[in-house]
Amino acid sequence: MGLSLLGRLYAWFWLFFASGLVSFSPLYGICNFAKLPQVEIFSPPTISESEHLRALTAGRFNPDTFFAGMEPMTVTRMILQADALDTRTSKLNRLQVGEWALVARNYLRDAALSPATRKDLAAGVINSSAPESRAKSHLIDALLGSDPENVDRDITEHDNARYENQQPYFGLPPESYSTRYDHLSKIFKSLNLQPGSKIVDLGSAFGRVGFFIGLQYPTVDFVGFEIVPERVREAERVRRHLDIQNIAFKEQNLADLAFTIPTADVYFFYDPVSESTLQKIIGELAALKKKSRSFHIVAIEGRGQLLKTMRSLPWLKDVTPPNTFDPMNANKPVCRDTMIFETIDSFEL
């Protein structure tokens, strides 16, 4: 299978001309200092990558055996590139792309990669210019070695007493109740975190927020509380394997009367709870505010009325940065409603 002449010229341009531009320009000195991967994680495909991509998406190879022995960087780049291709103009079958990307992600998740390689690749994808998508978040989880789908699928017996009046999001794909990495990038960029800042995730699921902080803000402390023990065990397994020291995941029912929320600079709150638990949490946050603590709350609407409730609290002000969360698509399910609040110092409780 060959590339068209135009395709070859395009690939050669990127391989030689564009890379030559960097190496001969004054930029080279600056680039040299930055710890960049040899090949950018998201850039136009090399000739061999293009050929692999076309062969795979045309169904000419068995993806189950195709990736064996392939460089993880190449596999990662190919997933990002295929995901970014416009299926109409490139005549790729979107279903085929999805299928082989799934196999490729499984391959990356189970590959014998060192923890350092996993963290480098995952951070490379987070910081790449590859278009935002759920597929990108799936890929980052796979690179970290996390396996949320299988863990949730294996929870066959639910301890009904434990989950009474709580909202454990069973029966939904984990991706649908986890915050996308590109949303996390936008949220935390707007928060101006300092070394030593503390973040608490109220309902941390498989630890998405924690892993993002572990990779992007190694001097910030994070703790996530989660009611489902299987999810906590999976998050801790991955954390230990990757040896990320500044994050922790704890099994905890937030509704438990013996539990009080620890002090923090940011509370992350992606609609984890039932109405009664929400009221308990708000009461505790109000008590912290009363002790002259100031903090931010990131609130993401899920199934309930979280944003309405948070907006009604007189001791909070809305500090959501404008145009951050793709206002053109604000009503689409992939762009969840997110608001950021800050305590009002002058408000006496």
Ligand X SMILES: C[S@@+](CC[C@H](N)C(=O)[O-])C[C@H]1O[C@@H](n2cnc3c(N)ncnc32)[C@H](O)[C@@H]1O
Which residues are near ligand X by CB under 6 A?
A: 166-169, 177-179, 201, 203-205, 208-209, 225-228, 231, 252-255, 268, 270-273, 277, 302
| CB 241 to ligand X: min, Å | 20
Residues 219 and 252: their CA atoms lie apart, in Å, by 25
**How many residues in total does the chain contain?**
349
Instruction: CB nearer to ligand X: give 99 or 284.
Output: 284
| CB 142 to ligand X: min, Å | 16
338 beta partners: 300
Instruction: CB nearer to ligand X: give 49 or 234.
Output: 234
Instruction: CB nearer to ligand X: give 188 or 268.
Output: 268
Instruction: CB nearer to ligand X: give 63 or 302.
Output: 302
Tokens of 239: 């954390």
Residues 305 and 278: their CA atoms lie apart, in Å, by 10
Residues 340 and 264: their CA atoms lie apart, in Å, by 15
Residues 200 and 297: their CA atoms lie apart, in Å, by 10
Instruction: CB nearer to ligand X: give 53 or 242.
Output: 242
Count helices and strands (H / E) in the chain: 17, 7
Q: Enter the DSSP assignment of 177.
A: G
Give the chain's radius of gyration (CA, Å). Answer: 22
Element at 135 (helix H, strand E): helix 134-144
| CB 131 to ligand X: min, Å | 20
Residues 300 and 162: their CA atoms lie apart, in Å, by 24
Residues 218 and 119: their CA atoms lie apart, in Å, by 12
**Which of 101, 108, 106 lies closest to 135, judged by CA?**
101
Residues 223 and 324: their CA atoms lie apart, in Å, by 25
Residue 269 backbone class (left: φ over 0; alpha: ψ -120 to 50; beta: rest): beta
Instruction: CB nearer to ligand X: give 71 or 159.
Output: 159
| CB 132 to ligand X: min, Å | 16
| CB 42 to ligand X: min, Å | 23
| CB 264 to ligand X: min, Å | 14
Instruction: CB nearer to ligand X: give 50 or 167.
Output: 167
Q: Give 41's contacts (C-beta < 8 A, 6+ positions apart).
A: 73, 76, 77, 80, 121, 124, 125, 128, 130
| CB 208 to ligand X: min, Å | 4
| CB 292 to ligand X: min, Å | 27
Instruction: CB nearer to ligand X: give 197 or 204.
Output: 204
Residue of this chain nearest to ligand X (CB atom): 203
